[in-house]
Chain A
Amino acid sequence: MTASFWRQSVAIASRDLMVEGRTREVMLIALPFGAVALFLAPFAFGLELALLATVGPPLYWVVGLLFGMQITYRSTATESGPWSDLLALLGVDPAARFTGRALASALLITGFLGVLAAVMVGLYSPGAMPPIPGMILTVVLFSAGLAMLGSIASDITIGLRTRTLLAPLLVAPLAAPLLIAANSLWRSLAQETGILTWALILFCIDLVLAVSGVLSARPLMEATR
């Protein structure tokens, strides 16, 4: 017997969120580390307030990208050989596994970016800011895309010795459209111009990643056999 696709996805997502609830790695380690990164950058840029106000939001997205990648890899770190075999033998749909992991990672990255946004605003005092619903939309779409991309890269590199360096190398360039679109949407929302274009681009990137992830889930799982 096997559970339905969505029941499996929710079970996988719940697993990852429970693990985070126990370890609190995102809350206690990733978040402070991200805040430190935002705090240190002005020491390299110089403390010209107008410059900081300009670079604050783009730097926020770069930090979000780099740390968000690490958050997605965490969930696949729990999928060691025996656990991966178990999921296969329980008849878990690989696409459900991808969906569940991406869902959990997206929620964690959204929370991470939400708190980090407050840190960025406090440290950099950016000029015009998007309305809060727009900020939430941008963060959610960016987080979803990054979670899916990170999940695909994790599946590709699972079990490889060079995984910790190789996975970020695979994700970072492919995440560039996400970074460009998220920063552009943020700016568009603040300036109230070109919003629909960038929102659609970001949504389309997420859609392409969702389709890629679902279609590649089984081939990637079977690649380790």
Chain B
Amino acid sequence: MNPLVLLEQVAVRSGPVSILTSVSIHLEPGTSLGIAGANGVGKTTALRVCATLQRISAGRGAVLGADLGTAASLAKRARIGLSGHEPAAIGELTLAENLELVAKLSDRPSAWVVEALAKVGLDRAADRRVDRCSHGMRRRLDLARLLLTEPDLLLLDEAQAGLDPPAVAVIGKLVADVKSRGGGAVLVSHDEAALRAVCDRVVTMRVGEIP
């Protein structure tokens, strides 16, 4: 079976600035990988490469069996779920409206919205506007979105940041669910202990590289 993510000595440059020098990642189906590292080493950029949202300057890579930079890799995007540093939501819409929009765009039943909000403990705040929610609530909304869309490749960037222990447990459930479906997860964080609690394997990223 093809690995879900296979990056070999991937480099990312922005003009003369080098962000990643040599990143190699191997993620098999049914497993989870944690990438630990200090601020500024390039964890988020590496994660965005896995999400096909960051172009690479050198090296080779394939996500969900499609080579990076090809039309085939763009077609795989709908099977990828990403929770980044900042939650993705429209501030003027309510929590429920944001999820309903995601449901429409991803062709999921609207009925799943209520269930997803309940799983992250936001069902009673469903009609609250996102710009009136706390950061932690918005992060929970991101998790609800991932529960709704059921991606095959789950990518979480500092997912535990801003979450209380009950919400952190949702992350564990998300990772377990995606693995049971034959998918996989990559989590990045500066908190190595938190990663070890959730991931099957943890690697440490040095400046610009994962050997």
Contact = CB atoms under 8 A, between A and B. Distances in A.
Given A11-B105, A15-B90, A15-B101, A89 B82 contact: yes
Nearest to A15: B101
A15 B84 CA distance: 22
A12 B104 CA distance: 10
Contacts of B78: 1-2, 89-91
Main secondary structure of the interface of B (DSSP, over half): loop
A19 interface: yes
B31 interface: no
Contacts of A123: none
A75 to B, nearest CB: 11
Contact of B53 (A3, A11, A12, A85): A85
A19 B90 contact: yes
Nearest to A223: B55
B101 A11 contact: yes
A1 B54 contact: no
A1 B88 contact: no
**Chain A, interface size: which category?**
20 to 34
Given A19-B90, A19-B93, A90 B106 contact: yes
A43 interface: no
A89 B47 CA distance: 13
B108 A88 contact: no
B97 A3 contact: no
B80 to A, nearest CB: 5
Interface of A: 1-3, 7-8, 11-12, 14-15, 18-19, 22-23, 78, 80-83, 85-92, 225
Given A22-B129, A86-B145, A90-B149, 8 more contacts: A18-B92, A81-B86, A82-B89, A83-B89, A85-B51, A90-B105, A90-B106, A92-B105
